[in-house]
């Protein structure tokens, strides 16, 4: 009896929680509850960490060069479009870059921002294809914890943003992320062109630097909520943003250390440079001829 009452209370609280969401977005795709996206994310994790590698174990890797070209430059175009929409719906047309609140009205500006937030959220599912392509190409060394965690947590956390706070202070990091993705997927697209473009990809290391700068800017900007007397309408979202921004900052710093300081993931154009091994600690240092 107590279990039934507890379950009934939990269901009631869950329903009340959903009712507190933005009524403008409640009927949009994947926004009715967190269950559909949870199923998609769980299936993604299972495929890229277990099922996919098993299916590919005794198969030749797929040649996806043309697919990757179309995919990467399509994501570049989508990211450019989202940058434009974020700027035109707030960040370039009235936002103060301080304590910007969510516009819950049905005004053209408010609805434009809400739609842009949903598009950004949905783009996170498209970007899961990054990992699927790694698996199909048998690039399992690329399927790291950082990579899978990043692609899993972003859509999950952004569901809360679109559901409860599609706009204002909490969308700054989305704008930054779109800018970073324009640069990042341009690099991936050029990489897919093959060896002919390899000599022009010396700036791979700087992609991680850009990502680190992004997370520093996100944590700094978001800290305004905790420092200023900011009446942002959905405080939980700001805590979520700070939590994963700090998590990514630490994870990317760890990646930077192992990939570049220890020389485990240098760009090919730098791998061809002369390497001098430090016999004491095994670290490789690159130098020009």
Active site residues: 150
* 264-268, Cβ contacts within 8 angstroms, sequence gap of 24 or more: 266/205, 267/201, 267/202, 267/204, 267/205, 268/198, 268/201
In this structure, the number of other CB atoms found within 10 A of the CB of residue 60 comes to: 7
Q: Are strands 284-287 and 274-277 parallel, antiparallel or unpaired?
A: antiparallel
Report the distance separating Cα 8 and Cα 31, nearest Å: 23
114 neighbors 166 (Cβ within 8 angstroms): yes
284 neighbors 277 (Cβ within 8 angstroms): yes
């Amino acid at each position: 009896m107590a279990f039934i009452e507890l379950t009934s209370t939990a269901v009631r609280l869950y329903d009340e929680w959903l009712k507190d969401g933005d009524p403008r977005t409640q009927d949009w795709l994947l926004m009715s509850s967190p269950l559909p996206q949870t199923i998609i994310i769980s299936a993604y994790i299972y495929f890229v960490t277990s099922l996919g590698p098993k299916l590919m174990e005794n198969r030749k890797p797929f040649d996806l060069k043309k697919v990757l070209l179309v995919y990467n430059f399509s994501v570049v175009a989508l990211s450019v479009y989202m940058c434009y929409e974020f700027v035109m719906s707030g960040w370039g047309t009235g936002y103060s870059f301080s304590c910007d609140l969510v516009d819950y009205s049905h005004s053209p500006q408010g609805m434009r921002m809400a739609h842009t937030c949903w598009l950004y959220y949905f783009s996170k599912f498209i970007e899961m294809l990054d990992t699927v392509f790694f698996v199909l190409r048998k690039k399992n060394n690329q399927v790291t914890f950082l990579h899978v965690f990043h692609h899993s947590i972003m859509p999950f956390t952004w569901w809360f943003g679109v559901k409860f706070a599609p706009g204002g202070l909490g969308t700054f990091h989305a704008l930054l992320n779109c800018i970073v993705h324009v640069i990042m997927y341009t690099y991936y697209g050029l990489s897919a062109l093959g060896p002919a473009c390899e000599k022009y990809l010396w700036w791979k290391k700087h992609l991680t630097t850009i990502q680190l700068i992004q997370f520093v800017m996100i944590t700094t900007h978001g800290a305004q909520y905790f420092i200023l007397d900011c009446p942002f309408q959905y405080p939980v979202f700001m805590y979520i943003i700070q939590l994963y921004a700090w998590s990514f900052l630490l994870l990317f710093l760890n990646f930077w250390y192992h990939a570049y300081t220890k020389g485990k993931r240098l760009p090919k154009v730098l791998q061809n440079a002369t390497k001098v091994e430090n016999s004491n600690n095994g670290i490789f240092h690159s130098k020009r001829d």
